[in-house]
Amino acid sequence: MTEGKTKIVAFLCNWCSYGAADLAGVSRLQYPSDTRVIRIPCTGRMSPEFILSAFKEGADGVWVSG
Amino acid sequence: MGNLLEHIGIEKDRLHFSWISSAEATKFVKVAKEVTESVKALGPNNRLVKKLG
Amino acid sequence: MDSLTDKIRTLCTGLLKDGKVDMIVGFKKGTIPMSSCPCVARTPEQAKELIWDSNCTLNLANYLTNRKEKIGVVAKGCDSRNIVNHIIENKVTRENLYIIGVPCDGMVDKRKIRALFNDDITLFSEENNKLFVETASEKKELDKQDFLKNNCTTCIHRNPVIYDELAADPVEEQKIENRFADVIKIENMSSDDKWNYFNDLIKDCIRCYACRNACPLCYCPTCFVDESNPQWVGKGQDINDVRTFHLLRAYHCAGRCTDCGACEEACPMDIHVRAFTRKLVKDSCEIFDWEPGLDPNKRPALDTFNPDDPDGFIK
């Protein structure tokens, strides 16, 4: 964590949460900017390797959303 | 995954799962806030991080 | 035990002579006392080398993966469960197997016995649950029950779940009050204590991957540790890489691990690697009411979706 900023890696499903994030943006809804979004083709693409890699590279939190 | 990570001593609130449909922008915002807050509350993560050099 | 050895030899010689199987996978005597070594017998003469004793700790299902021959395999309780796993995962077909089931009353833990003596063990024999161990300077008679492997003490499937023939009468299954006492002990620790406990556990790991190689579940053509693009795990001795390896190895066995203890048996550094997989065994038991390798016709817990699956962790 640098400069008091939290780093959260968000794995979002292209069809669900990624769409929701897009819609939130289009609707100009405000939400915290600590998340770094990684788009995955489907939540089925998710694997434990991703989560551990994210933590290994210094993430403070991981959020998986389908 | 969450259970095993917790088992080895990673705080439970560092890993979140959610289910949001593409029409639920408000839920997305709500969950994003929750996730950020709970991770912030835990402070920086020192475990599992690979230190370089 | 000698009668078991005789019985297995007779059965296997018969099978090979009649041409019912192309080969037998079993154990032969190891090169040092108190050891055994997996072996393949293709002729009746070779089948005479087969043995069975309390040191046949490795899991023979490991040697069946992707084989196309007709194979006779000597299987104790946990081996048979891993054979069921193999059948479910299409690694071997039931028709190609002739399973000689061996009811097992536990294997002995070499480490516990070695710890009793100052010098190398020169002779090991057993009879009626008594172990006779000799070194150059000492001689001891031990109770087998006190020196069982840790996973054998909590085993509730000693009899093979699938077999064509049994080499002995089924043994009585153990009734265990609290199978997961060791896991619960760790669960009750604080976050910091857990962290330190596991760090301490893996600090001796030399990343030889013997645990992976001994495990019948680990048959991927390219293991995640060997993948270089993307590289999930660094190659060095960095504690984070070691931990990642153990975590992922355990996680790949989730809902499949039969707690046979082959990983621990193979570990040259005496690391309690089952500490990782045990938690997942407990979880699959509690969350999905699932114990792997009991029924070849049931799909594993992580392979099926059920609307009633617990989803409390999802927001």
> Whole-number mean pLDDT of chain C?
91
Chains with ≥3 CB–CB distances under 8 Å to B: A, C
On chain C, the residues whose CB falls within 8 A of the CB of B18 are 314-315
Count of domains observed in chain A: 1
> Do C63 and C12 form a contact (C-beta atoms < 8 A)?
no
Q: Min CA distance, B28 vs chain C (Å)?
A: 11
Residue with tokens 């048959």: C219
pLDDT digits (tens, 9 = 90+) for C73-112: 999 999 999 999 999 999 999 999 999 999 998 999 999 9
Query: Which residue of B3, B4, B8, B38 is the best one to mutate when testing the C interface, meaning the one whose CB has the most C CBs within 10 A?
Result: B8
The answer as to whether A41 is a domain residue is yes
The answer as to whether A14 is a domain residue is yes
The answer as to whether B47 is a domain residue is no
Task: Choose the closest CB to B11 out of C191, C241, C313.
Answer: C191
On chain C, the residues whose CB falls within 8 A of the CB of A56 are 240, 244
pLDDT digits (tens, 9 = 90+) for A29-54: 999 989 999 999 998 898 888 988 89
Query: Which residue of C244, C252, C280, C302 is the best one to mutate when testing the A interface, meaning the one whose CB has the most A CBs within 10 A?
Result: C244
The answer as to whether B20 is a domain residue is yes
The answer as to whether C315 is a domain residue is no
The pLDDT confidence band at residue C257, using thresholds 50, 70 and 90, is very high
The pLDDT confidence band at residue C217, using thresholds 50, 70 and 90, is very high
The pLDDT confidence band at residue A1, using thresholds 50, 70 and 90, is very low
The answer as to whether B53 is a domain residue is no
Chains with ≥3 CB–CB distances under 8 Å to C: A, B
The answer as to whether C287 is a domain residue is yes
Contact A35 B43 (CB under 8 A): no
Q: Nearest residue of C to residue A64 by CA position?
A: C314
Closest CA to C89 of C218, C223, C196: C218
Q: Is B46 on the interface with A (CB under 8 A)?
A: no
pLDDT digits (tens, 9 = 90+) for C42-73: 999 999 999 999 999 999 999 999 999 999 99
The interface pTM score, or ipTM, of the predicted complex is 0.85
Q: Is A6 on the interface with C (CB under 8 A)?
A: no
Domain end among C92, C126, C147:
C147
Average pLDDT over residues C29-44: 92
The answer as to whether A2 is a domain residue is no
Q: Nearest residue of C to residue A53 by CA position?
A: C232
Q: Domain limits at B19?
A: 2-42
On chain C, the residues whose CB falls within 8 A of the CB of B1 are 251
The answer as to whether B21 is a domain residue is yes
More confident residue, C315 or A65: A65
pLDDT digits (tens, 9 = 90+) for C139-186: 999 999 999 999 999 999 999 999 999 999 999 898 888 889 998 998
Count of domains observed in chain C: 2
Q: How many angstroms separate the CA atoms of A5 and B45, rounded? A: 12
The pLDDT confidence band at residue B8, using thresholds 50, 70 and 90, is low
The answer as to whether C312 is a domain residue is no
On chain B, the residues whose CB falls within 8 A of the CB of A47 are none
Q: Is C115 on the interface with B (CB under 8 A)?
A: no
Q: Min CA distance, A40 vs chain B (Å)?
A: 14
Q: Nearest residue of B to residue A64 by CA position?
A: B17
The pLDDT confidence band at residue C191, using thresholds 50, 70 and 90, is confident
The answer as to whether A3 is a domain residue is no
Count of domains observed in chain B: 1
Shared domain check, C102 and C61: yes
Q: How many angstroms separate the CA atoms of C50 and C313, rounded? A: 50
Shared domain check, C274 and C187: yes
The amino acid sitting at C296 is P
Shared domain check, C132 and C215: no
Closest CA to C114 of C129, C137, C134: C134
Identify the pLDDT of residue C99.
Answer: 95
Q: In which element (H, E) is residue C47 found?
A: helix C44-47
The amino acid sitting at A6 is T
The answer as to whether B23 is a domain residue is yes
Q: Domain limits at A25?
A: 8-65
Q: Is A16 on the interface with C (CB under 8 A)?
A: no
The answer as to whether A39 is a domain residue is yes
What DSSP letter does each residue of C184-239 carry, written as one string?
HHHHTS-HHHHHHHHHHHHTT-----HHHHH-TT---SS-TTT--TT-SS-SS--H
Q: Domain limits at C127?
A: 113-147
Reply yes or no on whether the pLDDT at A2 is more than 80.
no
Shared domain check, C135 and C280: no
Burial of C143 (0-12, 13-18, 19+ CB in 10 A): exposed
Secondary structure in 3-state letters for B1-53:
CHHHHHHCCCCHHHEEEECCCCCCHHHHHHHHHHHHHHHHHHCCCCCCCCCCC
Contact B17 C314 (CB under 8 A): yes
Shared domain check, C236 and C175: yes
Shared domain check, C207 and C132: no
Instruction: Note the helical H segments in C216-296.
Output: 239-252, 262-266, 274-287
pLDDT digits (tens, 9 = 90+) for A4-38: 688 999 999 999 999 999 999 999 999 998 999 99
Shared domain check, C276 and C177: yes
